[in-house]
Chain A
Amino acid sequence: MTLAALAAQLVNGLASASALFLLAAGLTLIFGVTRIVNFAHGSLYMVGAYGAWALVDRFGPASFWAAVAAATLLGAVLGALAERGVLRRLYDAPEMLQLTATFAFVLITRDALLWLFGAEDRLGPRVPGLAGTLTLGPLTLPQYDAVLVVAGPLVLVALTLLVRRTRFGLYVRAAAENRVVAGALGIDEARLFTLVFALGAGLAALAGALQLPREPANLAMDLPAVADAFVVTVVGGLGSIPGAFVAALLIAEVKALCIGLGTQTIGGVPIAFPQLTLVAEFAVMAVVLTLRPQGLFGRVATALPTTTLPEQRALVARGGRATLLAAAAIALVGIAGPLLADEYVRVLATDILVATLFAASLQWLLGTGGLTSFGHAAYFGVGAYAAALAARHGWPFAAALAWGPLAALVWAALCGWFAVRSHGVYLAMLTLAFAQITWAAAFQWDAVTGGSNGLFGLWPPAWLADRTRYFLFTAVVVGGAWSGLRAITRGRFGYAVRATRDSPLRAAASGIPVRHTQWRAFVIAGGFAGLAGALYTFAKGSIGPDALAIPRSVDAIVMVLLGGLASWFGPLAGAGVFTWLQDTLARTFDYWRAALGALILAIVLLFPGGIGGAWQWLRARSR
């Protein structure tokens, strides 16, 4: 390629970097002050895009800049409302509950926009006066991109001045430094947090509105946006605005370089660099986090002992005869019930069993390990795809089924190796980013994964083709795997994992290699999720990228929360109620996602202990 073409790509990269920075700046600002990672940041971005589109549609392209301003304001108002209404109650809650609550907003926002605008993409306007191209020496680039190139640094300067030079900025810095002292100094924390949320949300909406001329507003733009924002903030260092800028620049330019390089032959092997942009993003993140786990500009966070609830003991308590009887009764009813009912119930029950194993693997990670994963579906999906591909290549059923969890295990070993270097929200964001990359690979790698259509015709062999038989087969496999996982939880390794969760400091001082132990816990969770995925493939006869998308990871978290983080029957209770509810809602109600979002908010705000917690509470009261 020519030098001029490469330079054009690099300038293009600058425009992308600005867009990325605008997206990430609000997220990192909100985190810096409130310590909340806002999952709905991508949704505010989407609101910004749709808001600007609606106004331009109504008032014509000449109103574009006014529409951008109005959309920004709309985002700020929505952010302030969400903070006042819900998030304020969660400042002292575990981060998993905070993240899950903000995900409820993702679901609600998506359905609200679906209701308002319908499902089709909304094409943005050509911005008046900026529709042409700009020529700089040998370079030509769209004039609007030039505006974006400037917008990023402008916002960086404005935010820096705001934080460094104003009274509001002083309060922001004080609150970021030490919340208690800031309160003692008479800073009105409640008002400050609302303002910061409004500012951050406004920035997200601004980013979305400014993106409109480059990318149509659509209902699928929220999660990729938030995943991008997570990568940028984690690489830059959570809470650091300059860090977000440098990270956005780094990532956008590495991607631009990949596109600019085109297909190059290295050592006789042709490598199509444009297809490697995802890998490049992953590589940048991996390199930075290996060298600096706190991100480029982040501060080292001390590893605090994970607070543990007394009821988490229930996870390991040696079950007495009553527990054994209860388990036997559940198994009996769970198997006999569907056998007596019609085929539809057996299919649903198979789904519930698969979801139970998936939820149990996540409960092991979240509850026993204290490792907040927001991308657990990646390992479910890798297991599902691996089994599907093996079946495609003519492997016998048993081998294909075994290959699923094995592949998931390998992928979890790689992702987990980076993930366990961090903890808390960092870990949650990293796992989410890995899951997003895994999803994108499944979605884009047409030749292997069938792209967005996925793979079809993957039925179990004749002796299992009958739905009833496959249900029984699933019951046996899930029952065995779940018992195995419980044996691990209650065994030596389970205790070591809990030790690293209860107190990393004490665990290390007792000779337990903390990171290595957590890594192994992560790999085990990935393997069991992969087995659930493999069972899923043959239950459905097909597999598509939805099986490993972010919403599926959150489904699993909701199941675990619904069942109770600490309850041994939690995964079954949570998976059962959730799967049944989703099935019923999805058949009767177009906006079931919003209903699910409302359900999540209700759990998080009212019953953080889930079904298992409520059960224990009732039992304690009846004594």
Chain B
Amino acid sequence: MVAGTLAMSGPLLAVRGVTRAFGGVEALAGVSFDVAAGERVALIGPNGAGKTTCFNVLGGQLAPDRGDVQLAGQSLLGLAADAIARRRVGRTFQVAATFASMTVRENVEVALRGVGRDAGLARATLERAAAADLADRHAGTLAYGDAKRVEFALALAVDPVLLLMDEPTAGMLPRDRRALMDAVRMATAAGIAVLFTEHDMDVVFGYADRIIVLDRGRVLADAAPDAVRADPRVQAVYLGEDAA
């Protein structure tokens, strides 16, 4: 278990030389980057760049061929997804995954108990995710944007030090999108680190402190939004012949 306060000097998340091949094609070819506590980092790149593979390695769904992933100095490799959740890594998925047969409050209660926390924190957790209005709704009957908000609450239920969010705003209305990302911003203000992938460049440039660009399994750029925007190699990847 990670201590409640992270009294340490290194980065919160350290990804070191992660390589993963699928049938000879390297989806990740020696990817390294850091994420610090309280930082919002966007992971972007064209389709097939390795974003999903990277997320699956971090989330414990996939083992890398080489390399290491460390959270607060401890390796996450070899841990199953549930053990990673208990190390306080929260996760949202590209297609929102909730417990369809339960109410939203029950969803959060189950998630709280899953990591050994008090179910009485459900209300506060929903409020942090700006989803308290949904508490008594059935998760199976929610509109897509609402389901995304509930999923964010479920990710917060593990009392995360790090949030991994795969396309957090995909399929949402602009207004809901802003509400969710503002809630994410509040979470990082409280010291939680957020690593997210996103297709919407307004969200990426509007909310990320730093942007990591992946291309064909390699880190092409890792810098502040302005520097990434000005980087000609990034422009080539997104606008050049590769974009076709």
Please list the residues of chain A having a beta carbon within 8 angstroms of any beta carbon in chain B. 305, 308, 310, 312-313, 316, 492, 495-496, 498-499, 501-503, 505-514
B32 at the interface (CB under 8 A from A): no
Known: A313-B138, A508-B85, A510-B154. A492 touches B101 (CB 8 A): no
Docked pose: A266 CA to B99 CA in angstroms:
53
The residues of B that contact A512 with a CB separation of less than 8 Å are 82, 110, 114
- Total residue contacts A-B, CB cutoff 8 A: 90
B85 engages A495 (CB within 8 Å): no
Stretch binding the partner chain, chosen from B7-15, B67-75, B90-98: B90-98
For chain B residues 99-141, which have a beta carbon within 8 Å of chain A? 99-102, 106, 109-111, 113-116, 138, 140-141
13 A–B contacts from the bound complex (CB under 8 Å): A310-B101, A313-B101, A496-B113, A506-B93, A506-B98, A508-B80, A508-B82, A508-B85, A509-B91, A510-B85, A511-B85, A511-B114, A513-B80
The residue in chain B whose Cβ has the minimal distance to the Cβ of A305 is: B97
Docked pose: A499 CA to B154 CA in angstroms:
12
Docked pose: A514 CA to B115 CA in angstroms:
13
Q: Which of B80, B93, B114 contacts A505 (CB 8 A)?
A: B93
Q: Which of B82, B110, B138 contacts A495 (CB 8 A)?
A: B110
B158 engages A511 (CB within 8 Å): yes
Q: Give 5 new A-B contacts, CB below 8 A, not counting A499-B114, A509-B81, A510-B157.
A: A305-B100, A498-B102, A508-B60, A509-B90, A512-B110
At the interface, is chain A mostly helix, strand, loop or mixed? helix
- Looking at B90, B93, B110, B151, the one whose CB has the most chain A CB atoms below 10 A away is B110
A511 engages B115 (CB within 8 Å): yes
The residues of B that contact A305 with a CB separation of less than 8 Å are 97, 100
Docked pose: A95 CA to B138 CA in angstroms:
25
Measured between C-beta atoms, what is the minimum distance from B195 to chain A in Å?
Answer: 15
The residues of A that contact B98 with a CB separation of less than 8 Å are 502-503, 506
The residue in chain A whose Cβ has the minimal distance to the Cβ of B111 is: A510
Measured between C-beta atoms, what is the minimum distance from A303 to chain B in Å?
Answer: 10
Docked pose: A506 CA to B60 CA in angstroms:
13
B59 at the interface (CB under 8 A from A): yes
Measured between C-beta atoms, what is the minimum distance from A7 to chain B in Å?
Answer: 40
A506 engages B82 (CB within 8 Å): no
The residues of A that contact B116 with a CB separation of less than 8 Å are 511
The residues of A that contact B114 with a CB separation of less than 8 Å are 496, 499, 507, 510-512
One digit per residue, 1 when the CB lies within 8 angstroms of any chain A CB and 0 when it does not, for chain B 189-218 equals 000000000000000000000000000000
Measured between C-beta atoms, what is the minimum distance from A345 to chain B in Å?
Answer: 38
Docked pose: A505 CA to B113 CA in angstroms:
16
The residues of B that contact A495 with a CB separation of less than 8 Å are 102, 106, 109-110, 113
B86 at the interface (CB under 8 A from A): yes
Measured between C-beta atoms, what is the minimum distance from B140 to chain A in Å?
Answer: 6
Q: Which of B91, B99, B158 contacts A503 (CB 8 A)?
A: B99
Measured between C-beta atoms, what is the minimum distance from B182 to chain A in Å?
Answer: 23
A308 engages B100 (CB within 8 Å): yes
Q: Which of A313, A492, A498 contacts B113 (CB 8 A)?
A: A492
B110 engages A505 (CB within 8 Å): no
The residue in chain A whose Cβ has the minimal distance to the Cβ of B112 is: A510
Across the A-B interface, the 9 shortest Cβ-Cβ residue pairs: A511-B114, A508-B81, A511-B115, A506-B97, A510-B114, A511-B85, A510-B111, A502-B99, A509-B91
The residues of A that contact B111 with a CB separation of less than 8 Å are 510-511
Docked pose: A337 CA to B139 CA in angstroms:
42
Tier of interface size on chain B: 20 to 34
Measured between C-beta atoms, what is the minimum distance from A576 to chain B in Å?
Answer: 26
Docked pose: A508 CA to B90 CA in angstroms:
11
Docked pose: A5 CA to B194 CA in angstroms:
68
- Looking at A308, A499, A511, the one whose CB has the most chain B CB atoms below 10 A away is A511
Docked pose: A509 CA to B111 CA in angstroms:
9
The residues of B that contact A310 with a CB separation of less than 8 Å are 101, 138, 140-141
Docked pose: A577 CA to B91 CA in angstroms:
47
Docked pose: A310 CA to B116 CA in angstroms:
28
B101 engages A514 (CB within 8 Å): no
Q: Which of B99, B115, B154, B157 contacts A498 (CB 8 A)?
A: B99
Known: A495-B109, A499-B110. A511 touches B97 (CB 8 A): no
The residue in chain B whose Cβ has the minimal distance to the Cβ of A307 is: B100
The residue in chain A whose Cβ has the minimal distance to the Cβ of B85 is: A511
Measured between C-beta atoms, what is the minimum distance from A68 to chain B in Å?
Answer: 43
- Looking at B86, B100, B151, B155, the one whose CB has the most chain A CB atoms below 10 A away is B100
Measured between C-beta atoms, what is the minimum distance from A177 to chain B in Å?
Answer: 17
Known: A506-B154, A511-B85. A308 touches B115 (CB 8 A): no
Docked pose: A513 CA to B99 CA in angstroms:
15
Measured between C-beta atoms, what is the minimum distance from A389 to chain B in Å?
Answer: 39
The residue in chain A whose Cβ has the minimal distance to the Cβ of B60 is: A508
Docked pose: A508 CA to B93 CA in angstroms:
12
Measured between C-beta atoms, what is the minimum distance from A501 to chain B in Å?
Answer: 8
- Looking at B86, B101, B109, B155, the one whose CB has the most chain A CB atoms below 10 A away is B101
A510 engages B140 (CB within 8 Å): no
The residues of B that contact A514 with a CB separation of less than 8 Å are 82
Docked pose: A501 CA to B140 CA in angstroms:
13
- Looking at B60, B98, B116, B151, the one whose CB has the most chain A CB atoms below 10 A away is B98
B138 engages A499 (CB within 8 Å): no
B80 engages A502 (CB within 8 Å): no
Known: A310-B141, A510-B110, A510-B158. A502 touches B85 (CB 8 A): no
The residues of B that contact A502 with a CB separation of less than 8 Å are 98-102
The residue in chain A whose Cβ has the minimal distance to the Cβ of B96 is: A506
The residue in chain B whose Cβ has the minimal distance to the Cβ of A566 is: B101
Docked pose: A218 CA to B151 CA in angstroms:
57
Measured between C-beta atoms, what is the minimum distance from A125 to chain B in Å?
Answer: 52
A499 engages B81 (CB within 8 Å): no
The residues of B that contact A313 with a CB separation of less than 8 Å are 101-102, 138
Measured between C-beta atoms, what is the minimum distance from B84 to chain A in Å?
Answer: 8
The residues of A that contact B100 with a CB separation of less than 8 Å are 305, 308, 502-503
Q: Which of A492, A498, A503 contacts B97 (CB 8 A)?
A: A503
The residues of A that contact B93 with a CB separation of less than 8 Å are 505-506, 509
The residues of B that contact A505 with a CB separation of less than 8 Å are 93, 97
The residues of A that contact B81 with a CB separation of less than 8 Å are 508-509
The residues of A that contact B99 with a CB separation of less than 8 Å are 498-499, 502-503, 506-507
A510 engages B138 (CB within 8 Å): no
The residue in chain A whose Cβ has the minimal distance to the Cβ of B109 is: A495
The residue in chain A whose Cβ has the minimal distance to the Cβ of B106 is: A495
The residues of B that contact A510 with a CB separation of less than 8 Å are 82, 85, 110-111, 114-115, 154, 157-158
The residues of A that contact B113 with a CB separation of less than 8 Å are 492, 495-496
The residues of A that contact B155 with a CB separation of less than 8 Å are 509
The residues of B that contact A511 with a CB separation of less than 8 Å are 82, 85-86, 111, 114-116, 158
Docked pose: A507 CA to B110 CA in angstroms:
9
Docked pose: A308 CA to B141 CA in angstroms:
12
The residues of B that contact A312 with a CB separation of less than 8 Å are 101
The residue in chain B whose Cβ has the minimal distance to the Cβ of A496 is: B110
Docked pose: A499 CA to B141 CA in angstroms:
16
Measured between C-beta atoms, what is the minimum distance from B95 to chain A in Å?
Answer: 9
Measured between C-beta atoms, what is the minimum distance from A80 to chain B in Å?
Answer: 37
The residues of A that contact B141 with a CB separation of less than 8 Å are 310
